[in-house]
Chain A
Amino acid sequence: MYTYSDFDAEFVRNRNAQFRAQVNRRIDGSLTEDEFKPLRLMNGLYLQLHAYMLRVAIPYGTLSSRQMRQLAMIAEKWDKGYGHFTTRQNIQFNWPKLQDVPDILDALAEVEMHAIQTSGNTIRNVTADHFAGAASDEIADPRPVAELLRQWSTDHPEFQFLPRKFKIAVSGSENDRAVLRAHDLAVQIVEKDGQQGYRIFVGGGLGRTPMIGKVLRDFLSPEDLLPYVEATVSVWNLLGRRDNKYKSRIKITVHENGIDTVRDKVEARFAEIKPAFTGVDQEMLEGIKAQFALPAFRNASIEALEAYRAANPAFRAWTDTNLTDHQNDNYAIVSISLKSHGKTPGDASADQMRVMADLAERFGHDELRISHEQNVILPHVHKADLPEVYNTLRDAGLATANIGLISDIIACPGMDYCALATARSIPIAQQIATRFDELKLEHEIGALKIKISGCINACGHHHVGHIGILGLDRAGVENYQITLGGDATQVAALGQRTGPGFSADEIIPAIERIVYAYLDLRTDADETFLQAFNRVGMSPFKAALYPAQSKAA
């Protein structure tokens, strides 16, 4: 894992000292709220519905056990004993007090963490495939590139007052687990003629105008990465609209100007700035890569595992859903579900954080990952250790066997916390999970991703859910629109709206009707919901959703 340089440590320390003084000046009345707000947002501090919220970056979703324990400590000492993992690999604390935030930031700095650029019109936390460095299908670990981009983008003087926020994701695999095509800019490590390089996507995004990212450059040589990304952000910084915040993201710039025009401008700017990049960045990248070297995998027999699986059905079910192939055959990637039926998606208590930290330290080469799907990953677990890992997770309420299933729901905080929300998300997720658990249908249904947003800004990624749910305020009543057929992977697609929305009371039965329609029409148990939708289209689902209208028609 990357370790802070002296420069990093001093930068964060100085920023924290500045913010401490800014908080003091706000409290003693020297700063107005209008003056203070941009300063707190630069440091990840929002004011939400009931309290402040501190959003802490987890760069490329990677945490050590020490960092996870510190998050647990912060949750207990300054919050209400839990944290909320988000769809951009951040953790949010929902109840900090203003005067405690400088101390929280200092506690984060002790473990090389911060909340800088988790808000505001800046380049945000750089995210990555949560299986990075472990996945069997990976060309290369994307995290060194993500770390290089993090260093380059942090406090970059040209990019502190962008037209709007700018989100970057990086992946090292053809199978997209990082929702590359829904990011302002994405970097995919690819191979061409035996050479590694990068494919660059631009102009993806969800929100009120969802767009699938387009290829800006199909193959970029490694040494051109930083100047090319800098050229892209630079072009948008000038070309992007500042007259209307709903039209300011780069997806609109690409849409309005066309990808070819944007590409021409980027190439021109790239040619201009490339000579200034003399190769120092490549030396830095090599240094960063060394810090992401694979752990020393151990050799041990995995013969006992099959017998243990055969004798323990619950363990077997968990291994069926929550494990992913590791690049080392004796290892597995363990996904820890933060989606226990009826619980808040993405929340972990301080005790649970410590359990996961202990497991990472004892059995996981001291690494944890946070996924954009709001789960926690132990990327390197030797298969011989899986029974003990499972039993420990089970005792902590963390062994729900539902990864990729209907109850593994992404949900934004919604109107239970968020000042921007137009409806609640969390209770809808809780009720769907509880309902399908009661029906004992979850495993029968198979792979199905439900994603819920409590407003049009789409933090819950509803556009790319197989079933997407969008909560709106319709004349003072919560109303939920459904989209079907969204896909967050390398064949990204935006879901299509089914029709009129449903009230909070109607939405769970509506989801049930969709699921039963799927079970009725699928060719066999191997045809997933998404495959079935792509085969038959919207009509059968519409008929199931709106029976009265379809009879009348």
Chain B
Amino acid sequence: MPKPFQPSVVTANHLLDGDVIYQTAADEWSRNLSDAEVLTDEADAQIRLLHAQSQPAVTVGAYLAEVALSVEGPEPTHFREEFRKTGPSNYAHGKQVGAAPGPLEASEETI
């Protein structure tokens, strides 16, 4: 029997800098998992994924990543997604410093 659909978010890499991004309910892209829209219905999730994949000027390699729900919002269920959310463990680079997480600037989305 196939595994029941798990709560998921739409995630991708940003075209210009490759950073990990998440689709929000407001149809924006955020660098922060906590802003992500959590999808609990499989059909709905597929539509949202198609929507993400139709934005090649912003996204590369969009896919659905499973999350667990916590009071702080969605949390990764797999360590790979934890590293994507956090950044590398050997330096405080990527999401750990630099650009404050949050919605992408409109200019970033559209170039």
Contact = CB atoms under 8 A, between A and B. Distances in A.
B13 interface: yes
A33 B84 contact: no
B73 interface: no
A437 interface: no
B36 interface: no
Contact of B17 (A33, A51, A427, A477): A51
B60 A47 contact: yes
A337 to B, nearest CB: 17
B61 A47 contact: yes
Interface in A76-116: 80, 94-95, 97-99
A32 interface: yes
A80 B79 contact: no
Interface string B1-41: 00000000000010111111000000000000000000000
B35 to A, nearest CB: 17
Interface in B49-63: 56-57, 60-61
B56 A48 contact: no
Given A416-B90, A426-B90, A427-B90, A49 B17 contact: no
B94 A50 contact: yes
A150 interface: no
A528 B100 CA distance: 51
A29 B18 contact: no
B16 A80 contact: no
A50 B84 contact: yes
Given A47-B13, A476-B77, A416 B18 contact: no
B70 interface: no
B20 A50 contact: yes
Q: DSSP class of B's interface residues: helix, strand, loop or mixed?
A: loop
Interface string A425-436: 011001000000
Contact of A98 (B16, B20, B87, B91): B16
Contacts of A80: 91, 93
Contacts of A476: 77-79
Nearest to B16: A98
A415 interface: yes
Given A51-B18, A477-B79, A32 B89 contact: no
Nearest to A26: B15
A48 B84 CA distance: 10
Interface of B: 13, 15-20, 56-57, 60-61, 77-80, 83-84, 87-91, 93-95, 111
Given A50-B19, A97-B16, 20 more contacts: A27-B57, A29-B56, A32-B56, A33-B61, A49-B84, A50-B93, A50-B94, A51-B17, A52-B17, A52-B18, A80-B93, A95-B94, A415-B83, A426-B88, A426-B90, A427-B89, A473-B79, A476-B78, A476-B79, A477-B79
Interface of A: 26-29, 32-33, 47-52, 80, 94-95, 97-99, 344, 415-417, 424, 426-427, 430, 473, 476-478
